[in-house]
Chain A
Amino acid sequence: MYPTNHKTIFVLDHTPYFGISSENPIDFDVTKGPRGPGYVPLPPICKSLWTCSVEAAVEYCRIVWDLFPDGKLVRFVVSDSAAHILNSWIANQQNLNHILNGLCLIGGVRRGAGGDVVGLCAAIEALGEPSPAQAARPSTDRHFQNRGRIICITSARDDVSLRSLAEIALNAIVQQNKRTSSTPPTTSTEASSSSPVLTIHYCHLVVINVIPEKAETLVHNQPLTEMGGGLMGVEVIVSRASQLATLLGRLVLPHYKLSTTTVTGIPMKEEQNASSSANYDVEIIHSAEAHAGLRATQSPTEAMESVVLRWWTPRGSEASAVSCGGAVWRVTPADVASRPSACLVNFLLNGRSVTLEVPRKGGGRSASHTLSAHAGELWISALGGRAPHDDPPALSDGAGGRVTDYRIKEFGALIQQNRLYPLRGSGANARARSRLQRHTTYWPLTISSTLIFNLGSFVEPLTRLVVQESLTDEELEVCRSVLHMLLNMEFRLEVPSSHLPAALRGKWSGMRREEQWRQVWGEVEALVRAHAASATHRTLLHTLLDCRAHNHAPEGESNRASVIRATTDSPLSPGGVASTTATTSTANSEVWAPRNVLDALLGAPRPPRRPDFAGRMAAGSRPATLYQHLQQDVDASH
């Protein structure tokens, strides 16, 4: 679906007639008071018809491009003895600078024949060229319509010659459509030629007949008339050259569904007299949708006029502009060069926002819109009524609301590590998500559910480095040294919770030292295992498993246990130890982190699993008994 305003083409008449004066004198001495003797006043000057039409067309474009940085395209065709096409539909040629540079090369009106017909025909050809968006559309789009508008600024002798101009245009469209449909390859085989010509489904032709200030004309206004069975709509508007810019400034509103707001009562300080401030009005242009809320109760004639909204100065306790998350629309000042406009624009661009209110006689105040700037652009937003959830349930009543020890600070750090930046190229979103995936693989939500993330500087290098996609050898060494340090601490019989901040110790104080260490090693293993994707990570995991083997492997456990518990427990299958054994060995049986199918296909093949402990295999599902032969030996010796 491409609306008519997707493509607009200006055809500017550059024939000698447009070199004549607009007869609308501009006096440059108007602001000066009396001067010294011998002061020769400057003669007032008049713009040519050409200058008037160029500046009016440029002003139209300024509004369009300010409000629609993409999607609304404008092209210029200058017509004299030949058609000079100033830009194409490509995005980087859709700006004022490009047009003004092109116009510099065209220059003023020169002698020679020519007319508007050649330009009009070039414009119709241009309408057949697809815009980048149209070229990229899926070929299956059945509702596709190639529509556009041609604004032809010219001057004709009478209504008859304008009618023949319209007929020439219609004929050109019909002929071009015939040629397009007679070359089927463009639709069926797609893009054998570089840019296939599109059929024109509708063309809105606006002919503006320009006349100097005092001249008479035989051309009359003509409302929109359909021609060629709805293929073309023609409209004729007669305008004095001096009024041309105003006319186009008004025409742009219905063409792009815009409307204007007059911001009234803007307090501004005078440069000369900074102590007093005067109130000014600034007119701004934006999408008509911004007024939809106000216009519900207005008559159609009122809707044509500029809406007057008053600058809202917050009084006392009244809250200033509340942030609203509704729709926003771009804004551009109607008169970009006026001082009050520039003042308001700078105020907004400096980061402040303005609330506007509907002026009421009764004295009640109701904020209706806000103006603000973002990224160097001005925006208006409508403050619409109530929020749909003005009594939101408190988070503390909901799921997880009564938990008070979330690791908010740590998640803040994770947020900072996963900030997004505008990059080039595709797949950026996917990269961001896989990075988040890595960073959250082992991530306890609460402080009380983790020991290792609370041990601070001991473990921090490990937890920081292990989430990386790969580890360098130095980083691997740092991680290993953390593991060795933990191991040493355990051998020195230190209690992990003694390294916690005092406030956190309470929860762990009830837990035996061995339990705490088991938790520490369990967490470290879960963390490292979750990241065992790269070779260095796998090396780290092996180091970790070796570390655990020192004190948690069956043999080690029973050796140490025999020292401590020799008097109380029998070395033969003590309950607690047996359960630990079973747990550890199940953990060992799955050395590798779970991989998805793609990883498995792409990644290095995993070495075969380590053979299971023979005793366990023999025991089946029952707890394996260690040192069975000892018992046998004892029995035998008896």
Chain B
Amino acid sequence: MRAILSVSVPFTRDYDTIRAKLLQLEEGDKTCIENALHGVNQLVMSEWGLQIPMQIILVTDGSSGVGAIGRNRVVQALPLPPLYPVRIHVLPIVSPLDPSLQHAMPIYQKIVELATSANSNSMKAMSRGVVYCPDQLSLPGITTAVSRLCEQQYAEACRWLRCGRLEARVQLYPPAQAVVEGGPPTHPAHHIHIIGFITQQDWGTPPTISRHLVLPQPQTFSSTDRRDSYTSKMTSKENQSSEGGSNEEDASDPSKIPNFCVLLHGALKVESMAAVVSLGEGWWGALSAVCEPSRARRSCLVLCALAPGMHAAPWLGPLDQLGPAGEEARTTNESIVLKAARSYTSGGCGGAAWARPHALLADVQKVLRHARKLPDKTQHLYKELNRLRRAAISLGFTELLACVGAALERECAALPANAPAECSLQLAHAAAALRDPRAALDAKYTVQPLTTNFGQSRSSSPRHSN
């Protein structure tokens, strides 16, 4: 950590690269924690974005780089909390009795605390990091501190995936985190229960808070015994003795023991379905077979955790009310998704957009366009006219109705001499109707087309039978 910072090794899983690089590191001139964190923030944001939970381990020599006076300034200059969810751990390589550590400790505490303080993304709040001080400044002391860190922060998270009576022990990677959202944190339950299945398409892409690889783990023997209890009861001695050799061999190789997880993955993939799972009280997620868009292009079982709460996937309705369709399984492929009505789906939205003049003009032009295409568009004219009228009434825009009335009269006057008589009659009727106080005030009133018998006969001679 120096006044100048550099990225020694980019994100990698190549252990040797890191080891080789570590030997080449040179000492810098000054401890400058806030600079380092700025650098880390940039690195993380450019490579991982803001959705992936991170852990930062600050390895330091136990000095804060500033005196007592500068301490507050450093704390204020810390770029924390960052935009991405993070937990910072501090590992000071220093004797616990070193006075500089006593001095730096408040800063470390502050860093750990600030990293997880009220994040801009409250959904992704994480539990706090820890300062790992070695008991003594010696290799064993530091090894103990580091292994303590690994045990506490990088433990494999194994859970049971259950589908009715079928189950498998799985590892979630990255481990599922407790979710803090305003109230008490929601902890992921030890068992992930499959509730049922749903098509990938219906499931869609609801807002997920985290994604985890689901990796099947070797079964512990007690469970396999229980599940396959019938075989031990039913198979005779003879059978066991003949196949005993291969059984023992299989038992030593977990990849040859059938695992529910692999079956589930295969079936979900073939059916393009997702399994809806319960992650805890009032917390849902989905398992699906996903082909990771990476260089590996491998298909794996992925768990998407939704935000806790039954409304986390709005188009499926309340998630606690997802249930089976009755004994005779419906196999129709109709979508079960609830369609939402939004302003942009309903076409016009009744004058709500008239604040923009072009929207108003477009609606008026629509009426006039129909007016010019009488008598074919009589029904359309009145339909649009009533829509326009309704919108104008709700906005208290009576001036508009007078104006449209005038425009209709002008269209009437501009009719060519050979136009059918119905055109002029309907236009005059519509214009007069707009001046009717009922039409201008009562939204429930509907302007009806003038009843003529021209519609049926289409004779050009004007017969005023009505």
Contact = CB atoms under 8 A, between A and B. Distances in A.
A329 B123 CA distance: 13
A36 B414 contact: yes
Nearest to A442: B230
Interface in B287-317: 290, 292-296, 298-302, 304, 311, 314-317
A337 B359 contact: yes
B324 A420 contact: yes
B239 interface: yes
A174 B394 CA distance: 35
Interface in A191-236: none
Contacts of A51: 395-397
Interface string A260-286: 000000000000000000000000000
Interface in A425-449: 425-429, 431-433, 435-443, 445-446, 449
B129 interface: no
Contact of A48 (B52, B237, B361, B399): B399
Interface stretch (A116-124, A380-388, A538-546): A380-388
Given A66-B342, A395-B265, A426 B321 contact: yes
A162 B95 CA distance: 65
A69 B314 contact: yes
Q: Is the interface of B mostly helix, strand, loop or mixed?
A: mixed
Interface in A362-399: 372, 374-379, 381-399
B256 interface: yes
A576 B236 CA distance: 9
B83 interface: yes
B65 interface: no
Contact of B396 (A59, A103, A296, A432): A103
A245 B355 contact: yes
Interface stretch (B143-151, B331-339, B426-434, B447-455): B331-339
B46 interface: yes
A394 B298 CA distance: 7
Interface stretch (B67-75, B107-115, B205-213, B458-466): B205-213
Interface stretch (A498-506, A515-523, A610-618, A629-637): A515-523
Given A336-B349, A428-B321, A429-B323, A408 B267 contact: yes
Interface stretch (A152-160, A319-327, A599-607): A319-327
A567 interface: no
A1 interface: yes
A375 B239 CA distance: 56
B19 interface: no
A322 B293 contact: yes
A54 to B, nearest CB: 5
Interface string B187-227: 00000011111110000111111010101111100000000
A328 interface: yes
Nearest to B413: A38
Nearest to B260: A445
Interface string A65-82: 110011000000000000
A381 B208 CA distance: 11
Contacts, number: 453
Contacts of A429: 195, 278, 319-323
Interface stretch (A39-47, A310-318, A453-461): A39-47
Given A48-B396, A325-B302, A428-B320, A576 B267 contact: no
B352 A59 contact: yes
A419 B239 contact: no
B417 interface: no
A97 B304 CA distance: 36
A542 B121 CA distance: 61
Contacts of A439: 164
A583 to B, nearest CB: 7
A418 interface: yes
Given A319-B293, A428-B323, A399 B261 contact: yes
A28 B352 contact: no
A333 interface: yes
A508 to B, nearest CB: 12
B160 interface: no
B254 interface: yes
Interface in B330-368: 330-331, 336-345, 348-362, 364-365
A296 B38 CA distance: 11
Interface residues of B, number: 151
B377 interface: no
A408 B261 CA distance: 11
Contacts of A246: 355
A534 interface: no
B15 to A, nearest CB: 14
B383 to A, nearest CB: 18
B339 A437 contact: no
A101 B260 CA distance: 56
B120 to A, nearest CB: 7
Given A394-B298, A399-B257, A519-B234, A407 B356 contact: no
Interface string B254-275: 1111111111111110110101
A58 B349 CA distance: 10
A399 B271 contact: no
Given A327-B207, A337-B356, A62 B349 contact: yes
A583 B268 contact: no
Given A66-B344, A403-B262, A426-B320, A326 B208 contact: yes
Interface string B357-396: 1111110110000000000000000000000001101111
B361 A433 contact: no
B27 interface: no
Contact of B205 (A379, A382, A401, A437): A379
Nearest to A446: B258
B396 A109 contact: yes
B90 to A, nearest CB: 23
Contacts of A26: 357, 360-361
Given A66-B342, A415-B267, A425-B321, A293 B296 contact: no
A237 interface: no
B230 A292 contact: no
B253 to A, nearest CB: 7
B276 interface: yes
A55 B13 CA distance: 57
Contacts of B406: 42-43
B344 A332 contact: yes
A31 interface: yes
Given A54-B396, A375-B315, A420-B196, A415 B268 contact: yes
A406 B263 contact: yes
B43 to A, nearest CB: 11
Between A104, A143, A406, A412, the greatest number of chain B beta carbons within 10 A of the residue's beta carbon is seen for A104
Nearest to A406: B263
B132 to A, nearest CB: 23
A468 interface: yes
Interface in B412-449: 413-414, 441, 443
A182 interface: no
A638 interface: no
B21 interface: no
Between B296, B339, B354, B407, the greatest number of chain A beta carbons within 10 A of the residue's beta carbon is seen for B354
B400 A45 contact: yes
A433 B259 contact: no
B263 A62 contact: no
30 contacts: A1-B182, A48-B396, A52-B355, A66-B342, A100-B352, A322-B293, A333-B344, A374-B315, A376-B340, A386-B47, A391-B13, A391-B296, A392-B294, A395-B262, A398-B255, A399-B219, A399-B259, A400-B254, A403-B262, A406-B258, A406-B263, A415-B267, A415-B268, A419-B196, A423-B322, A429-B323, A438-B164, A442-B230, A576-B236, A587-B233
Shortest 7 CB-CB contacts between residues of A and residues of B: A384-B49, A400-B259, A428-B323, A245-B355, A440-B164, A375-B315, A522-B234
Given A47-B397, A377-B340, A392-B298, 14 more contacts: A28-B361, A107-B441, A296-B41, A326-B208, A332-B342, A332-B344, A384-B52, A395-B300, A399-B257, A408-B266, A423-B322, A432-B322, A437-B165, A583-B236
